[in-house]
Amino acid sequence: MSVDYVTLSNLIIDDIVFPDGQTFMNTLGGAGLHALVGMRVWNDHLGYAASVGPDLDEKHRRSLARFGVDMAGLVLRPDYPTARAWQVFEPDERRIEIFRTSLDDFERHKIRSVELPPAYTRARGFHLQWGTLDELEEALVALRAANPRLALVYEPSTTHLEEPGPAFRRVLPRVDLFSPDRGEGKQITGQSDPDAIMDTLLAWGAPLVALRMGESGSIVRGRDGTGWRLPAVPATLVDVTGAGNSYCGGFLTGLGDGLPPLEAALRGAVSASFALEQFGLPAWDAPPTAERDRRLEWLRSRVAPLNA
Secondary structure of the chain in HEC code, one letter for each residue: CCCCEEEECCCEEEEEECCCCCEEEEEEECHHHHHHHHHHCCCCCEEEEEEECCCCCHHHHHHHHHCCEECCCEEECCCCCCCEEEEEECCCCCEEEEECCCHHHHHHCCCCHHHCCHHHHHCCEEEECCCCHHHHHHHHHHHHHHCCCCEEEECCCHHHHHCCHHHHHHHHHHCCEECCEHHHHHHHHCCCCHHHHHHHHHHCCCCEEEEECHHHCEEEEECCCCEEEECCCCCCCCCCCCHHHHHHHHHHHHHHCCCCHHHHHHHHHHHHHHHCCCCCCCCCCCCCHHHHHHHHHHHHCCCEECCC
Provide the residue type at 54 as one letter. P
pLDDT above 70 covers a percentage of the chain that reads 99
Across 268-273, average pLDDT:
97
Residue 165 has a pLDDT of 86
Across 66-76, average pLDDT:
95
Torsion (CA) 272, 277, 278, 280 in degrees, nearest 10 = 0
Residue 263 has a pLDDT of 98
Across 202-208, average pLDDT:
98
Over residues 105-136, the pLDDT tens digits come to 888 899 999 999 999 999 999 999 999 999 99
Residue 94 has a pLDDT of 79
Residue 291 has a pLDDT of 97
Across 200-228, average pLDDT:
97
Cα separation of 100 and 102, whole Å?
Answer: 7
Cα separation of 126 and 252, whole Å?
Answer: 7
Cα separation of 74 and 76, whole Å?
Answer: 6
Across 205-231, average pLDDT:
97
Does the pLDDT at position 19 exceed 60?
yes
Across 252-258, average pLDDT:
98
Cα separation of 20 and 22, whole Å?
Answer: 6
Across 44-67, average pLDDT:
95
Does the pLDDT at position 141 exceed 90?
yes
Across 253-282, average pLDDT:
95
Does the pLDDT at position 239 exceed 80?
no
Pairing of strands 208-212, 218-222: antiparallel
Q: CB of 16 within 8 A of CB of 27? A: yes
Cα separation of 159 and 132, whole Å?
Answer: 7
Q: Which range (33-42, 99-108, 167-176) has the least confidence?
A: 99-108
Does the pLDDT at position 68 exceed 80?
yes
Residue 1 has a pLDDT of 67
Residue 278 has a pLDDT of 83
Q: CB of 240 within 8 A of CB of 95? A: yes
Residues whose CB is less than 8 angstroms from the CB of residue 64 and which lie 6 or more positions away in sequence, other chains included: 28, 48, 71, 281
Establish how many alpha carbons lie within 13 A of residue 302's alpha carbon, considering only the half-sphere containing its beta carbon.
17
Cα separation of 121 and 172, whole Å?
Answer: 20
Does the pLDDT at position 308 exceed 60?
no
Cα separation of 244 and 216, whole Å?
Answer: 12
Does the pLDDT at position 252 exceed 70?
yes
Mean pLDDT of the chain: 94
